[in-house]
Structure 1
Amino acid sequence: MKINYENYSHLSFDLWLTLIKSSPEFKQKRNALFRDFFEIEHPIEKVNEIVRYFDVLCNNINEKTGLNIDTYEIYYLILSALDVDIVKNDTDRLFQFYGHTEELFLEYKPVLIFPDIKKMFQEITNQDKSISILSNTAFIKGAALRKLLEYYELSDYFKFQIYSDEAGFSKPSAAIFQLVLDEISKYKKIEKKEVLHIGDNSIADYNGAIQFGFNAHLLKI
């Protein structure tokens, strides 16, 4: 990852497809678990199709509204599309399923896109610059992503981590970028132009940061 960060005081990083990418095994096993747990009669190919459809759709909606569709809401949309009676599946049951999903996620972990990212983070922090995470979420909540970053021994490099499911807003909303600025301002005086946001999504990461007044780097892998 080559980023010119010399002129910035704080670097904000997206997570998915910027620092990590999913394990292909995880999605396969999660969808199979979804089919079995909710006793879905459709073949796994149909489940895969529907899950992918609502994953993309909800992400697009979040980008348009700047809000955050909850994981359980996505589950209900998928279940309904797969002819499952959602009345018979209360939120306690969804909570139980999510627990199994998180276990799978931490067993079949996403991998680091840049294996030497710790070295870069160390170089940044050695220059008295600060780092944070700003990530939209969908099927995996921020709490699980915190555990993942702890596993990779990256957590200590971040001054804070902001996830859309916890904030109630999604990039490119100005509200979630404002949260970043508010958090930075708790420990140092900073202007918007001194913040560089790095991400792979031109709408959520690049346009969102620029429109808010941050600088931005669009990562192309």
Structure 2
Amino acid sequence: MKIDHKNFSHFSYDLWLTLIKSNPQFKSKRNLLFKDFFDVECSIEKVTEVVRYYDVLCNNINENNGLNIDTYEIYYFILNALNVKVNDIDTKQLNLFYKETELLFMEYKPQLVFPKIDSLFEEIKAQGKTMNILSNTGFIKGYTLRKIIADYGLEQYFSFQIYSDEVGFSKPNHKIFQLVYDQINSSNEITKKEVLHIGDNSIADYDGAIKFGFAAHLLKI
């Protein structure tokens, strides 16, 4: 990750495809769990197709309206599309399914995009500069992503972490970038141009940050 750090005081990092990427085995196992847990009668190929469709659709909706579709709402969309009677599925069942999904997620945990990223973080920290995570969420909630960051021993480098499901806004909504800026200035008053947001999504990360007034770096892997 080649970035000129000297002109910035704070670094805001996207999470997915910026710091971590999905384990190649997780999604197929998650889809199979979805089929078995809810007794879906469709083929696993159909389940995979529908899950992927709503994953992309809900992400696009979140980017377009700047809000956040709840994980359980996404479950209901998928179940309905797979001809499962959603009126028979209550929150308790969805909670149980999410717990099973989280166990699977931690077993087949995401991989670091840059395995030695901690060396960069150490360098930034040594310069007295600060960092945060700013991530949109979908199937995986913020509190689970915090566990992954902790599991990799990276939580020590971040002053704070903001996830869309926890605040009700998604990038590129200026409100979620304002939350970042407010949090930064609660301990260290700096200008917006001293904040560099780094991410892989041209709409959510790059355009969103630039329009808010932050500097931005579009990560291309």
TM-score surpassing 0.5?
yes
Q: In the alignment, which residue of structure 1 is the partner of 2:174?
A: 174
Please state whether the residue corresponding to 1:94 is helix, strand or coil: helix
Please state whether the residue corresponding to 1:67 is helix, strand or coil: coil
Q: In the alignment, which residue of structure 1 is the partner of 2:89?
A: 89
Give, as a single letter, the amino acid of the residue that structure 1 aligns with 2:115: P
Q: In the alignment, which residue of structure 2 is the partner of 1:72?
A: 72
Give, as a single letter, the amino acid of the residue that structure 2 aligns with 1:27: K
Q: In the alignment, which residue of structure 1 is the partner of 2:149?
A: 149
Give, as a single letter, the amino acid of the residue that structure 2 aligns with 1:68: N
Any unmatched runs of 5+ in structure 2? Answer: none
Between stretches 1-10 and 205-214, larger displacement belongs to 1-10
How big is each residue's C-alpha offset from its partner over 1:33-53, in whole Å with a ceiling of 9 and x where there is no partner? Answer: 000000000000000000000
The separation in 2 between residues aligned to 1:157 and 1:57, in whole angstroms, is 33
Give, as a single letter, the amino acid of the residue that structure 1 aligns with 2:32: A
Q: In the alignment, which residue of structure 1 is the partner of 2:127?
A: 127
How many residue pairs get aligned? The number is: 221
How high is the TM-score relative to the length of structure 1? 0.99
How high is the TM-score relative to the length of structure 2? 0.99
Please state whether the residue corresponding to 2:159 is helix, strand or coil: strand
Give, as a single letter, the amino acid of the residue that structure 1 aligns with 2:138: A
Please state whether the residue corresponding to 1:11 is helix, strand or coil: strand
Give, as a single letter, the amino acid of the residue that structure 1 aligns with 2:109: K
After TM superposition, the structure 1 = structure 2 runs for residues 19-168 of structure 1, keeping only pairs within 5 Å, are 19-168=19-168
Give, as a single letter, the amino acid of the residue that structure 1 aligns with 2:89: N
Give, as a single letter, the amino acid of the residue that structure 2 aligns with 1:9: S
Give, as a single letter, the amino acid of the residue that structure 2 aligns with 1:185: N
Please state whether the residue corresponding to 1:145 is helix, strand or coil: helix
Deviation at 1:91, TM superposition (A): 1.1
Deviation at 1:197, TM superposition (A): 0.0
Matched, 1:10 2:13: no
Give the RMSD, CA atoms, in angstroms. Answer: 0.4
Spell out structure 1 runs of 4+ moving beyond 6 A: none
Any unmatched runs of 5+ in structure 1? Answer: none
Deviation at 1:3, TM superposition (A): 1.0
The separation in 1 between residues aligned to 2:39 and 2:83, in whole angstroms, is 11
The separation in 2 between residues aligned to 1:201 and 1:107, in whole angstroms, is 27
Give, as a single letter, the amino acid of the residue that structure 1 aligns with 2:43: P
Q: In the alignment, which residue of structure 2 is the partner of 1:189?
A: 189
Give, as a single letter, the amino acid of the residue that structure 2 aligns with 1:53: Y
The separation in 2 between residues aligned to 1:38 and 1:215, in whole angstroms, is 45
How big is each residue's C-alpha offset from its partner over 1:69-99, in whole Å with a ceiling of 9 and x where there is no partner? Answer: 0000000000000000000001111011000
The separation in 1 between residues aligned to 2:82 and 2:3, in whole angstroms, is 44
Q: In the alignment, which residue of structure 1 is the partner of 2:212?
A: 212
Give, as a single letter, the amino acid of the residue that structure 1 aligns with 2:60: N
Deviation at 1:24, TM superposition (A): 1.6
The separation in 2 between residues aligned to 1:148 and 1:217, in whole angstroms, is 24
Give, as a single letter, the amino acid of the residue that structure 1 aligns with 2:98: Y
